[in-house]
Every structure is written in C-alpha cells, then in structure tokens.
Amino acid sequence: MSADTQKQISGLAAIDHIRDGMKVGLGTGSTAAWFVKAIADEVKAGMKLTLVSTSNQTTHLAHSLGLEIRDINDVGKLDLCVDGADEIGEGLALIKGGGGALLREKLIWEMADRCIVIADAAKHVATLGQFALPIEVEPFAYKGTINRITDVLSEFDIAKMPILRKKSGEAFVTDGGNLIFDVACGAIHDPSGLASALKATTGVVDHGLFLDLADIALIGTDEGVKVFYP
C-alpha cells in the first residue's frame, strides 16, 4: 500500500469520530486533506458541522469543496480537531509543522476537547527528531533569536544550526507572517524540556513539538488503520 493510500485510510477512519452538530477543527497537509474531502462528503450527505481551519491552504481546499469555514473567534471551543503529523513518538508526542502551519494548528488544537492525529505508518517513530523540528520565529531581529535558539539547543546536546526554510528560493513566510527555521535534531531525548526552553526564548513564536495534545492516533498501515493512545 502506498503512503498516500495509508494517509487516505487514516483520514477516512477519523470520520467515525464525527457526529452531527459537532464543532470541528480541520488540520493541514496531505493527510488532513483526505479528512477534509471526507468531511465534504458527509456535509453533502446532510450532516451539520461547524468547521474551522488551521491554515489558508486548508481554507482554500475546504472552500473548493463547498464547505463553509467559520472564524475561530466566533466559534470558541471545539469538540474535535483532526490533523496530520510529521512524526508520532512515544505517548503520542508529535513533531508538526512540515507544511509551516504549526502555530495556527497549535492554537486550534488547544481549543479542542479531543485531538485526533492521522498519519501514514512511516510517521510512527521510536524517538522524535529524525524529521527536522520547525521553529517559528518573529522576523524582526531574527539573527539574535537564532543565536538564542542555538544556545538552547546546545543545552539539550543538539549541536545543529537552525536552517531558514525557503520556498522557490525565497524565505518561506507563514500565514501569520513569520519565518520558519528547521533543526535537524537527530534525536530529541527530552522533548518536554526542549519544548519549554524554546517557548521561553524571546523571538520564538512557537515550535513544532506538540506534547500532551493528541488523544488518539489513527495510523494507516498495510494491515489497515491501527489505533494508538498516549
């Protein structure tokens, strides 16, 4: 089974958790796109849902499928958020942000009663850090921020430089107007300590470590969808 088919079956499996009348956060990325398409089918079939989005990309997809996206500030608390991940480690600790949507994703995840992560089998790892950790940075005085981030990383025995993410040769800019620096950590042995230290660094807007947020993982494998809990 291809990785894309694994993503598809995990996205479709998340539909089993949707009930009429729910307020649902739509994630970002190629796996979340399968979920968004499945949601569009449910809505066409008559289900009533209040939907909010984690990125401009997902909003565009949702609109193209005829879905209405509401402003999170008008909706308030959500019943559920369904989103992809770049790595899923022990206790459902995650790395997210490969698509650059980490900040708005985290804002939406934290407003949801339950969060479901959907992914293909390759995302399930023993130790987080093979996927480069995205760190979202305020553009003003970013060089000073990078120096501070490098100092923080060295406290966690990560001797890697943050690399500015680029798209078509230009700095990638997030939906919120920030820069992303990716750090090829290799292995993150203390995700919780690193998450706190990065969050406390001036100029860091947020980072791609999603800890204690996912309630369920639905992972598409060649043997079908496997369910994991923290």
- For 203, residues 6+ apart whose C-beta sits below 8 A from its C-beta are 137, 138, 140, 141, 142, 144, 145, 148
Q: Applying CB under 6 A, which part among 21-29, 64-72, 195-203, 213-221 lies near ligand R5P?
A: 21-29
Nearer to ligand R5P, 23 or 104 (CB): 104
Q: Does 97 bind ligand R5P (CB under 6 A)?
A: yes
Q: Does 191 bind ligand R5P (CB under 6 A)?
A: no
Task: Give the one residue of 18, 38, 85, 216 binding ligand R5P; rule: CB under 6 A.
Answer: 85
Distance CA 51, CA 23 (A): 6
Q: How far is the CB of 20 from ligand R5P (least distance, A)?
A: 26
Nearer to ligand R5P, 32 or 67 (CB): 32
* Tokens describing residue 99: 């698509």
Residue nearest to ligand R5P according to CB distances in the complex: 29
* Cβ–Cβ < 8 Å for 182, 134: yes
Q: How far is the CB of 147 from ligand R5P (least distance, A)?
A: 25
Query: Which of 161, 163, 153, 83 is CA-nearest to residue 123?
Result: 83
Q: Does 27 bind ligand R5P (CB under 6 A)?
A: yes
Catalytic, 223? Answer no
Distance CA 228, CA 216 (A): 6
Distance CA 103, CA 211 (A): 14
Binding footprint of ligand R5P on the chain (CB under 6 A): 27-32, 83-86, 96-102, 105
